Structure 1
Amino acid sequence: MTDLTRKTTIAGGIALGLTMAGSAMAQDTTIRWALHPGAEADAVVNYFAPKYEEETGIRVIGEILPPNQLRDQMSIEAIGGTGRWDLGYHSPGWFGSFADHVVDLTPYIEEHGFDVNAYPELVVESHMLSDARPGEIIALPTTPAAPMLIVRRDWFEHPDEQEAFEAEFGRALSVPETWSELREVAGFFTRDAGETLAGETLERSVYGWADALGAGAGITRSFIVVLYSTGVSGWDEDFTPDIDNPIVVEAADYFVDLAQNTAPREAQNWGFLEGLEMFRDGRLATATMWPQGVGTVEDEAGSAAGNTGYAPLPMWEDNIAGLTQGTPFLGGGGVFIFDTPNSEEAFKFLKWMLQDNEIEWGKQSEQFSTSGHFASEELRNLRPYYPDFLPAYEQVLESVFIRQGIPEYGAVMWNGTTEFITDVFSGDLTAEQAQTRWVNEMTSAFRRAGYIE
């Protein structure tokens, strides 16, 4: 054997050894992800995890947990330092529980070229940044979602309905752009069985509007978007509550009137996404819909398929912040990386899934949040209703409120909203009484936390 042959053989052996070592290392790496049930989880478990293992040899195991146990289980494992999960579901209002247990993603973003600017500014602010870890990027968006308004377009465009509405209200029947217009439209379309709608006699009652009104999270999700649409933010930079503004009482009285007089009684038992079957089946003229529900609304077996219009939530007239459309909150749909030995490998998987396969992620999860999603002709052509839905949803994401900032947000704002609107809706307290209690409780919480003296 010549020296050249010997050197080539040795070099080949070293290269083979390195390849085998790398392969063995990949096969030994398992990334574990605590997932919230839904389209995101299904896409990870059924499509992206197997594909990534096929391409890299690295296993990704998605563990789908019950929604009511997810936060507590992740907290227990994180605080205990068990390393059970490398990735965890990120809901912005939860971050205070995990602030000490996740990695700063900034170095990984810079090294691997993750494009933060692909996301709308408010999605970045809500899902990637936190005052609890200033100067860091603490999570990535996966399927952030915000509610929007849907309407029965064919009813709005029917000549009989247009004529009757203009005769009653002195303006053209159109998709509501303000909450006061929504109240007029909802009242107009609320009809009993036996009455006529769009030229047909109704066999069942039709309601003008609906959203989740179930106790707790249901009614809170529904009312809080009206509250924030008034321009209220909760408190200012000095931790002085602004929920003492009279506009909060106006919003509460409006909401109770809308819910009790134009929504079905069944809505008072609804939570997230419940009740959209009623819209699908021709029982609702308008409704609030989270994007996860678009498949239900457009179910070909229902009467709403192909007849649904999409729009941002209405603007509150004379709001105190100069807002030009309704202001919903941005739901969960994020992922953070726990401080484990697999943190960089976990980030590389996320970058591969969310950006290297950006359009495929949109197709598989059927949730959209990046400029690439909204510009994609392939995605717009994926469903017959996407050309109407996607532009409207892109506009929704331009005006959302942020659910974090201080660890006490959940207690003072989310829970405060729940207590406020629940007591007003039930009649246990007037809006003024509930408002006074809320201001006092928020102020006391800020004093205990040391924000004010």
Structure 2
Amino acid sequence: VEIYPTIHLEDEIVPVLNFYGNWKGNLYALPNMPGVQLLYYRKDLFENEEEKAKFIAEYGYPLQVPKTWEELYDVAKFFTRPPKLYGLTWSAGKGNMAVQNYYNIAWSWGADCLAFGQGFPDPVDPVHNMPICNSPIGIKALEFFCSLKPFMPPGVAAYEWAEITSDFCEGNAAMMFQWSDFVRDVEDPVKSKVAGKVGYALMPGNPDAPVNNVPGIIPGEGYASLGGWAVVINKDSKNKEAAWKFVEWISCLGMTHDEMMNYLEVGGTNTGRKSGYFLPETTGYKVGRYPIELEMYREHIRRRPAIAEEVEYELIVGTEVQKAFIGAKTPKQALDDAAKEMYELMVRGGYIPKAQPLVWPTKYVNPDGTKAK
């Protein structure tokens, strides 16, 4: 559109920019407040010499920040000392909470919800849009998620993001998976008993994941869902020039150094600009959050299915994941039911014709859940 000047996007984080605003090669939106989950951990516990000696005596290897889900299991179990301390605080809350947290595990297992993976449905072959959430590796990932429950505080099956953070800030957990912008609460000494004692790390991975699995997944690497917001201009807007000035500013492209500092520090939020993660004056840089967060954005983010029915997808799969987590269903029963409901959703959305029965997409995904050759 003629009112938009040429903009320079060299400072934008490319995967974030593309996931938020790219549609068929054209840019329609700019990232405003990206977000990704990180592993928060208590440095005062992990660096305690007595704790390190106990851990190596019990598990046979040094206490360290977990790089794999197997290590995370051991560390979470080790630090679980109810009722005052648990190994991990997270959530299996119905819908959004459960589905996002479960898939942060499942992706590193090589599993996914739909055969086309992340992004947009296949407009040509409806079989490519079939659900695969009940693959054997998807079920194993859910079994693992459920196995962490004994190491979490009571009530996590219904937690929202605030409850997860509250547990950690009170010193009730050794580790936490949480969105990056919650660092502002964790590092606030008025709100947090662990301020100044926290480290940040990448999501754990699964080195035993199938090599030939969903596109973009590397065995041993950890992944997390991209969250946040993007800003666009309505094509029918009567104030496009003013709207563009606001978009340019709120996306941080038009911010001065001082404005960027204020945005990151007072707002406690994130930016799609790489340079924002290298400002030494920011709390995020000082505590070591920003380098980890930037690496997550560059190499370790996944996107949810880009369908208009995303909220329904989260409710369907998230509800079934929660049922497995609380023991109301086995992980297999839960994901089998989720697959049936996801098939019905994809039919309602027009991604699969009504005449097309529910089938396993063998052309694209092997029966064990790995990518077909």
Q: Same fold (TM over 0.5)?
A: yes
Q: 1:316 to 1:168 in 2, by over 3 A?
A: same
1:267 and 2:156 correspond: yes
Structure 1 counterpart of 2:322: 422
1:53-77 deviations in Å (ceiling 9; x for gaps): xxxxxxxxxxxxxxxxxxxxxxxxx
1:204-228 deviations in Å (ceiling 9; x for gaps): 6100001133333333332232223
Q: 1:402 to 1:153 in 2, by over 3 A?
A: same
1:344 and 2:246 correspond: no
> What CA distance in whole angstroms lies between the structure 2 residues aligned with 1:373 and 1:350?
17
1:12-47 deviations in Å (ceiling 9; x for gaps): xxxxxxxxxxxxxxxxxxxxxxxxxxxxxxxxxxxx
Q: 1:306 to 1:222 in 2, by over 3 A?
A: same
1:211 and 2:94 correspond: no
Question: Does the 8 Å contact 2:38/2:202 carry over to 1?
Answer: yes
SS state at 2:224 partner: coil
> What CA distance in whole angstroms lies between the structure 2 residues aligned with 1:356 and 1:404?
31
Question: Does the 8 Å contact 1:306/1:385 carry over to 2?
Answer: no
1:367 and 2:250 correspond: no
Question: Does the 8 Å contact 1:125/1:402 carry over to 2?
Answer: no
Q: Size of the alignment, in residue pairs?
A: 327
1:382 and 2:282 correspond: yes
Q: For 2:227, give the aligned amino acid.
A: G
Q: For 1:155, give the aligned amino acid.
A: L
Question: Does the 8 Å contact 1:146/1:397 carry over to 2?
Answer: yes
Structure 1 counterpart of 2:106: 227
Q: 1:404 to 1:254 in 2, by over 3 A?
A: closer
Question: Does the 8 Å contact 2:103/2:112 carry over to 1?
Answer: no
Question: Does the 8 Å contact 1:273/1:289 carry over to 2?
Answer: no
Question: Does the 8 Å contact 2:30/2:230 carry over to 1?
Answer: yes
SS state at 2:199 partner: strand
Matches within 5 A, 1:241-280: 241-259=131-149, 261-280=150-169
- Bigger RCO of structures 1 and 2 (CA < 8 A, at least 6 apart): 2
Q: 1:163 to 1:331 in 2, by over 3 A?
A: same
Instruction: Report the structure, 1 or 2, having the larger helix content.
Output: 1
> What CA distance in whole angstroms lies between the structure 1 residues aligned with 2:347 and 2:167?
46
What is the deviation of 1:362? 4.7
> What CA distance in whole angstroms lies between the structure 1 residues aligned with 2:10 and 2:203?
25
1:392 and 2:254 correspond: no
Q: Which 5+ residue runs of structure 1 have no aligned equivalent? A: 1-105, 193-203
> What CA distance in whole angstroms lies between the structure 2 residues aligned with 1:418 and 1:358?
41
Q: For 1:207, give the aligned amino acid.
A: Y
Structure 2 counterpart of 1:334: 230
1:325 and 2:204 correspond: no
SS state at 1:380 partner: coil
Q: Which 5+ residue runs of structure 2 have no aligned equivalent? A: 117-127, 357-373
What is the deviation of 1:387? 4.7
Matches within 5 A, 1:47-66: none
Q: Of 173, 185, 192, which residue of structure 2 is paired with 1:296? A: 185
Question: Does the 8 Å contact 1:114/1:351 carry over to 2?
Answer: no
Task: Out of 395-404 and 233-242, give the one that drifted further.
Answer: 233-242
Tell me which stretches of 4 or more aligned residues in structure 1 moved more than 4 Å. Answer: none
SS state at 2:163 partner: coil
1:164 and 2:43 correspond: no
SS state at 1:208 partner: strand
Structure 2 counterpart of 1:440: 340
What is the deviation of 1:433? 1.5
> What CA distance in whole angstroms lies between the structure 1 residues aligned with 2:112 and 2:284?
38
> What CA distance in whole angstroms lies between the structure 2 residues aligned with 1:439 and 1:239?
12
1:297-351 deviations in Å (ceiling 9; x for gaps): 1122443222111011111332233244321111132222122111232112221
Q: 1:409 to 1:296 in 2, by over 3 A?
A: closer
SS state at 2:246 partner: helix
SS state at 1:355 partner: coil
Q: For 2:17, give the aligned amino acid.
A: V
> What CA distance in whole angstroms lies between the structure 1 residues aligned with 2:256 and 2:336?
48
> What CA distance in whole angstroms lies between the structure 1 residues aligned with 2:308 and 2:42?
41
What is the deviation of 1:173? 0.4
Question: Does the 8 Å contact 2:164/2:176 carry over to 1?
Answer: no
What is the deviation of 1:372? 1.3
Question: Does the 8 Å contact 2:260/2:276 carry over to 1?
Answer: no
Identity of aligned residues (%): 26
Structure 2 counterpart of 1:74: none
Structure 1 counterpart of 2:21: 128
1:326-383 deviations in Å (ceiling 9; x for gaps): 21111132222122111232112221442121542353233233111123xxx32232
Q: For 1:210, give the aligned amino acid.
A: T
Question: Does the 8 Å contact 1:381/1:387 carry over to 2?
Answer: no
Q: 1:431 to 1:404 in 2, by over 3 A?
A: closer
Task: Out of 285-294 and 438-447, give the one that drifted further.
Answer: 438-447
Provide TM-score, normalisation by structure 2. 0.80
1:285 and 2:285 correspond: no
Q: Of 96, 109, 112, which residue of structure 1 is paired with 2:5? A: 112
Q: For 2:112, give the aligned amino acid.
A: S
Superposition RMSD in Å: 2.3
Q: 1:373 to 1:235 in 2, by over 3 A?
A: same
